[in-house]
Amino acid sequence: ARSFADIGDIVRGKDLYRGNSKEKKRDDLEENLKTIFGKIHSDVTKSGNNKDALQERYKDEPDNNFYQLREDWWTANRHTVWKAITCNAWGDTYFHATCSDSHRKESCCQANDYCRCGNDKPGEDNPNTDPPTYFDYVPQYLRW
């Protein structure tokens, strides 16, 4: 199973695990990511008010990995990825219970049906509503 941090490594092109050499899936994934980020690169650098600055920031790389663009995309979208992972896991025991159902008088149990407590109100730091604090930026070999 892959963790949130591992997904960040894959998206950013920094995953140390290269997969089984007999399987082509890892190479296929990397090629798909290059294609996706190639399209994003093309869109971002050809239009908009600050296209010159973006062209400078996202210069073509010889291997077309788009590392800087991938970093920036992950930084901008890590909260959305975390929400997608956790919000679709209701009723799943893979995630621990995230908050109390103590508002119900008849029982005091853990909420295990949904990942969001209090409808994920901004400004209230509830467990499991925000990505783990930059754990996805810890080098992979230190997380094992």
Per-residue model confidence as pLDDT tens digits over 90-112: 555 544 555 555 555 554 545 44
User: Which domain range does residue 31 map to?
Assistant: 4-143
Write out the H or E segment, with its range, that includes residue 75. helix 67-87
Distance CA 64, CA 66 (A): 6
Query: pLDDT of 18-28, one tens digit each?
Result: 667 667 788 88
H or E stretch covering 104? none
Helix 4-12 to helix 67-87 angle (10° resolution) is 150
The phi and psi torsions of 87 (rounded to 5 degrees) equal -75, -25
Give the chain's mean pLDDT: 74
Band (51; pLDDT cuts 50, 70, 90): confident
What token pair was written down for 12? 């950013």
Domain count, the chain: 1
